[in-house]
Amino acid sequence: MPERERSIRVEAVVLRHSDWGEADRLLVLFTKERGKARALAKGVRKMHSRKAGHLEPFTRVSLQMAQGRDLWIITQAETIESYLRIREDLVRTAYASYVMELVERFTYEDGVSTPLYQLVNETLKRVDSEADPFLAARFYEIQLLDLVGFRPQLVHCVGCRAEIMPRDQFFDAGMGGALCPDCGVKSTTSRSVSMQALKFLRHLQRSNYKEAARAQIPAGIQRELEALLQWYISYLLERNLNSPEFLQKVRRMEPDNGNYLTGK
Ligand SMILES: [Zn+2]
């Protein structure tokens, strides 16, 4: 086995952190160079820690890390992007938490993916800056599924291979795609999907973000898409996600929560 370097510089997004010992924090990072990694930030919970502000969740950072016995130890940290609006707005915080949760769940340590790293950062920027982060979140889900090998098949029926026609259909989580009505009624791992929702899913799958963002998605279809994708993703991960519930709670709290649903 090659000897691991003693000290490395990486660029990373902080996925989450938890308290560790008296004054330290354990960070889960998604690094550009090494995929997911865990690192210890020593003394950051002490007053006047200079590193602390750079190591909050969602922050994009440049880090110098030294090889510890079991974990990397962060020796220097500089912020590249702090995404202030994500921090100041609870709905954006909830969306960003969802982005972070999916990266953590779909990646593994030392699994490098430059396209995914790029997608995560572009998505954080959109969640920080778009009037309504809804589309950024759906685009992220579809593109992430593609990058991690679960691209849903939306053109041909995953049961009988027949071309999916423009009408209401089914979506099968177990088989990973659209089912025609004949196959759909026989499946136990499917749910119905409207023709319109399916049309937007296809649009998200084949467009770049700029093209995708032009779509005017009615509020009812937005809710259908969100529910469908989260149901499929939860199925793939074999457990429920935590952050969608957080987003639902925040939406109920916000006086103008309707804005986030309708995009107005
Ligand atoms: Zn079929």
Residue-level pLDDT at 52: 77
What is the C-alpha to C-alpha distance for residues 88 and 119, in angstroms, rounded to an integer?
22
Q: Kindly tell me if the per-residue pLDDT of 48 is higher than 90.
A: no
Looking at per-residue pLDDT, the higher value among 113 and 49 belongs to 113
Residue-level pLDDT at 258: 46
CB 227 within 8 A of CB 150: no
CB 169 within 8 A of CB 179: yes
Q: Compute the distance from residue 170 Cα to the ligand 1 centre, in Å.
A: 10
Q: Compute the distance from residue 127 Cα to the ligand 1 centre, in Å.
A: 37
Average pLDDT, the chain: 91
Q: Compute the distance from residue 152 Cα to the ligand 1 centre, in Å.
A: 15
The amino acid occupying position 206 is R
Spatial neighbors of 84 by CB under 8 A, at least 6 apart, are 128
Could you tell me the pTM of the whole model? 0.90
Q: What is the pLDDT of residues 61-90, one digit of tens each?
A: 999 999 998 899 999 999 999 999 999 999
Q: Compute the distance from residue 155 Cα to the ligand 1 centre, in Å.
A: 11
Q: What is the pLDDT of residues 211-247, one digit of tens each?
A: 999 999 999 999 999 999 999 999 999 877 788 888 8
Q: Compute the distance from residue 150 Cα to the ligand 1 centre, in Å.
A: 19
H helical segments located in the chain? 84-88, 90-106, 114-129, 134-147, 181-184, 195-206, 209-212, 219-237, 243-253, 257-262
Q: What is the pLDDT of residues 167-201, one digit of tens each?
A: 899 999 999 999 999 999 999 889 999 999 999 99
Q: Compute the distance from residue 186 Cα to the ligand 1 centre, in Å.
A: 10
The amino acid occupying position 44 is V
Q: Compute the distance from residue 187 Cα to the ligand 1 centre, in Å.
A: 10
